[in-house]
Amino acid sequence: MLTKNAPQDKPKDGRDTKGEWYTRHSVLRTAQRAAALVNLLTAGKPTPENVAAVLRKHGETDPLEVSSEDVKQMRIVADSLRDVFASPDVDAAATRLNRLLAEGSGPARLTSHRGRTPWHIHLDSDDDAPWAEWLLASSCMAMAVLIWDRQRLPGGVCASPSCTNVYVTGGSGAPRRYCSGRCATRERVASHRRTRPSPNKS
């Protein structure tokens, strides 16, 4: 469930491919991929090409066949996932995730993508399930595990008034408020300018 496309060829250079796979498809990375896709799919006019580019960036392998209809259905899923990121508290996030899991995921099953990956859990109906079904199942499971593990919100919506991006929260420390350092810096500068005394006019 953490990945849809399995690697096509096993490297022959002695690399620890299982370790790399787990790093690329960890629960945290899966949640971060969900955030990246939500940000792309709920803003502007996403295309199959730029959706595929985000999937590749987050560990999916070629060939990636994403159609316009896939993008249309993934946008519907992304709107539902955005509601989870926008939850005001962990109880609301858990309730929304429970609803999405009940409506859009199947029973848990183990897969190794025909022996091409380590065994892992999927909640979609099949290894070749549509992209939208896979996105919903993989994203919901990742965020559900984060709530289970941390007992806090899995993410949020950027606090910058000029940004609508969602983000995944860290494991500890002060609660995150911005999707990126760029937004945080911009808002700190804006706040400083608002509170700075105006120069005396001559």
Checking phi first, is residue 156 left (phi over 0); if not, alpha (psi -120 to 50) or beta? Answer: beta
Higher pLDDT, 193 or 73: 73
pTM, full prediction: 0.83
Average pLDDT, the chain: 86
Query: What is the structure's pLDDT at 11?
Result: 47
Query: What is the structure's pLDDT at 202?
Result: 46
Largest CA distance in the chain: 78
| 164, 158 contact by CB (below 8 A) | yes
Residue 25 pLDDT level (bands cut at 50, 70, 90): confident
Residue 163 pLDDT level (bands cut at 50, 70, 90): very high
Nearest Cα residue to 139 out of 2, 46, 24, 6: 2
Q: What are phi and psi of 110, to 5 degrees?
A: -95, 140
Higher pLDDT, 62 or 95: 95
Higher pLDDT, 6 or 155: 155
